[in-house]
Structure 1
Amino acid sequence: MFLRSVLLMLLPVTSFATLVEKDVTYEQQGTTLEGFHVYDDSISAPRPGILIVHQWTGLTDYEKSRSKQLAELGYNVFALDIYGKGIRPQPPAAGKEAGKYKGDRELFRARLLAGLEVLLNDPRTDKTKVAAIGYCFGCTGVLELARSGADVAGVVSFHGGLGAAEGMAAEKETLKARILVCHGADDPYVPSEEVAAFEQEMRDAGADWQLNAYGNAVHSFTQKMAGNDNSKGAAYNEKADQRSWDAMRLFFDEIFK
């Protein structure tokens, strides 16, 4: 990728790229959280930072694998933890846990901002070039981060909920981030009415936004563990996965240039 190529040409490199991976424990109002940090230690200077917000089962190997993919491209990556250390629920308990935060957007935002602070405070992060991505539940998270007025260059949503809580929609006075939504055109969990409401919210806020809808794709289209049966409402779609990843990379090139 262009970003990593330029960094490696400009910076002294004494060895081949080596990813450093580590769990990071941090606090938010007395709650212990545990995220995942990964970076390429062959790059010595600050670089753009990417915050990852997990799906409804909490921080898993899926988010960690995406973190490593991004670190290989030259980014400093932190996958945050919304739920708390050791809280990694499986369905149906995952729905209840996610609901706590969807029902309390102020708490959700506080956890998001706590994770963002970890990334910003890392000396490897170029604080002027930070973005966030999220999957499913995490998509709701990155949109909340943008709505909160967080000082991030952009956010990317992958197959997630788009609705704003009552009284907490994006506003012209606070929205700073550019927004990319990667949406499954046949996602039964995000009805057309929700998509339309999000689009209107973005127009009203004067946002710099884009929404890519991928044909024949349902919920969880980036996740192989979802299987391949669209009739279940959640399924992997290789084309949509690759196209959305490519769209994200182009988006980062644009907002970080």
Structure 2
Amino acid sequence: MQQSAVIEYNHDGYQCEGFAVWDTAGPNRPGVMVFPEWVGVGEYTQKRAQMLGELGFNAFVVDVYGKGIRPNTPSACEAEMMKYATNRPLLRQRARCGLDQLRKVPKTDLGKMAAIGYCFGGMTVLEMARDGQNDLAGVVSFHGVLAAPTPLKPNTYKGKILVLHGVDDPVVPDDQTMAFWKEMRDAKVNWEFVAYGKALHTFTNWLMPEDGPPPAVYNKQADRRSWIAMRNFFEEIFA
């Protein structure tokens, strides 16, 4: 039976509030970290964690911003996100703290762990790979920001990387995409990049309108296909 709970924890004395999903029955299950979009922990990522639970995974939604910090306007979201986008060492530390929390989720197989992230969260999981977080067998970025001040270096990350991208995402212009490809090639990492036609930013988030103005627009087909791609990826890395 699926269990879930709000989990309070701290990073160097800074209070955070994540969300865990697990199942107490049966054998230990692979664990998946979930990193939210720029709004922080909320309805959307909690639902994604529950969906992962239905697929047979334990999940932990990581609170990068901190307890009670839940911006609800674009300007507030940008301001909060930029605190970490411009301080990648802090972002990596906050992510590692989230990984410690995933390890504490009951009946999690500590030999089978991965991370997924959406938008800002997609950037975060890529930073975990750049940081050499080799306890993660794989990371999956959904419409994530690809630019990085400190590119992935060869022989740093031993896991696999899956990037699921909207080809018309105005937040990630083509030159940023090409720079990311070069980064992956130069690092000689195991990576895959999937681009969905007619998909913009935040294409997986059903809380966004399908016919709204750019940059953030829901795309049902790209959402469905990217979730399937993630499932296939997990079947491979957790085999």
Which has more radius of gyration? 1
CA drift of 1:173 comes to 2.5
- Specify every segment of 5 or more residues in structure 1 that has no aligned partner in the other structure, as ranges: 1-17
Among all aligned residue pairs of Structure 1 and Structure 2, give the percentage whose two residues are the same amino acid: 47
Which residue identity is paired with 1:226?
M
CA drift of 1:175 comes to 1.3
SS in 2 for 1:232: coil
Which residue identity is paired with 1:29?
D
Which residue identity is paired with 2:111?
T
SS in 2 for 1:106: helix
SS in 2 for 1:127: strand
SS in 1 for 2:151: coil
CA separation in 1, counterparts of 2:133 and 2:103? 12
CA drift of 1:176 comes to 2.0
- Specify every segment of 5 or more residues in structure 2 that has no aligned partner in the other structure, as ranges: none
Contact 1:153 1:255 in 2 (8 A): yes
1:1-257 equivalence runs, <5 A:
18-43=1-26, 45-90=27-72, 91-151=74-134, 152-165=136-149, 168-229=150-211, 231-257=213-239
The TM-score with structure 1 as length reference comes to: 0.90
CA drift of 1:30 comes to 1.1
CA drift of 1:92 comes to 1.3
Contact 1:35 1:80 in 2 (8 A): yes
Which deviations, in whole Å up to 9, do the C-alpha atoms of 1:178-236 show, x marking residues without a partner? 10000001101100000001111001111100010000100010012221136422101
Contact 1:147 1:170 in 2 (8 A): yes
Give 1:7's aligned residue.
none
After the TM superposition, which parts of structure 1 deviate over 4 Å for at least 4 consecutive aligned residues?
Answer: none
Which deviations, in whole Å up to 9, do the C-alpha atoms of 1:31-61 show, x marking residues without a partner? 0001000112333x22110000011011011
CA drift of 1:127 comes to 1.3
RMSD over aligned CA atoms reads: 1.0
User: Aligned pairs, how many?
Assistant: 237
